[in-house]
Chain A
Amino acid sequence: MNHELKTISSVDRVLHEPGRMLLAALLYAVESADFLFLLNESGMTRGNLSSHLARLEEAGYVEIVKSFRGKIPHTLVQLTEKGRSAFDEYRAQLRTISSSLEAASQQRP
């Protein structure tokens, strides 16, 4: 198996889903963000967002802290160190795959 194929097959399945990839990218630049921000920026439904966050939390990529602001529930989400390094690796893999595809398309007659 050549290096490019290995890269494709070893892509992180948790992050290689558009919704979760977007959430990880949004959380990457921040220290923490709340549910409302992620809801607005991702354009997902509440249920969809909750299930993606639960999947990311299960993988140990995000930490979710639930609290109350007055009487209103407040959910704060933060990318963990594990999540951050997994996302770094995923970005590097995507870049490798993109450049391999580009090189292959240029070689084609």
Chain B
Amino acid sequence: MPKTSSEIIEEAIRRPRRYWDADGIPEIAIGAFWLLWGVIVLAPLAVPALSNWKNLIALMGILPAPWLMEAAVKKWKERITFPRTGYVKLAPPSGSLRLMLVAFAAGLGVAAMLVTRFKTLVSGDWMAAVLGVVISLTLLQLAWRIHSMRLALLSCAVAGIGIAASILAVSHDTSTILVFFGAGLVCVLDGVLRMRSYVRSHPLPAGEQL
């Protein structure tokens, strides 16, 4: 069935958001964030002396992460994407969308809190699956916002890693680390492959220099 003019317009309005995801940089940043979580969980296990400081380490690592991620994405885009296919500054999210994102983040926070609180009730084996699903939901909301099937598949892969870690039935800490590193590596790998194909298909225009 041919698209109506309204559908074509809506599709065009979504294009700049998709463009933001075209170079793989956001996935690399998201992957790095999950890898950071993995390192934060792993550090006190690998270095027992740090175990007394694990909450402080988590706080110090996680709090500046969103700002660092944003700055890194901006820097990389200025270096890689904008000289090739143009500069875009996305509009800040509308009030209702911002509210929805806050509600979503709060929902995830409550889910994480419940999981932590009832971890003695939930079989330890399923903790990794729950964590994988929670992480995959963050990717799924991004996939929904930009209508990206690829990100939706990526979120399924992350949920799959969580379920696989549960089935492997290793210790709670090990399965948590497996999920964070698995999710992080999948995102980073996908981002790197996407960036490679983007750079290959969009050479620098004449006169532009990195």
Contact = CB atoms under 8 A, between A and B. Distances in A.
Interface string B12-56: 111111010000000000000000000000000000000000000
Interface stretch (B85-93, B152-160, B174-182): B85-93
A94 B5 contact: yes
Interface residues of B, number: 23
A39 interface: yes
Nearest to A90: B9
Interface residues of A, number: 25
A34 to B, nearest CB: 4
B89 A32 contact: yes
A25 B9 contact: yes
Contacts of A64: none
A36 interface: yes
Given A31-B91, A33-B89, A41 B4 contact: no
Interface in A56-107: 72, 74, 76, 91, 94-95, 98
B4 A98 contact: yes
Contacts of B4: 98
Nearest to A22: B12
Nearest to B83: A36
Nearest to B86: A37
Contact of B5 (A30, A33, A35, A98): A98
B12 A25 contact: yes
A36 B15 contact: no
Main secondary structure of the interface of A (DSSP, over half): helix
B64 interface: no
A31 B12 contact: no
B96 interface: no
Contacts of B92: 31
A72 B86 contact: no
B123 interface: no
Given A34-B88, A41-B86, 9 more contacts: A25-B9, A29-B13, A29-B14, A29-B90, A34-B87, A37-B88, A40-B86, A91-B6, A94-B9
30 contacts: A21-B5, A25-B12, A26-B15, A26-B16, A29-B16, A29-B17, A29-B90, A30-B89, A30-B90, A31-B90, A32-B88, A33-B88, A34-B86, A34-B88, A35-B86, A36-B85, A36-B86, A36-B87, A37-B19, A37-B87, A37-B88, A38-B86, A40-B86, A41-B19, A41-B86, A72-B207, A91-B6, A98-B4, A98-B5, A98-B6
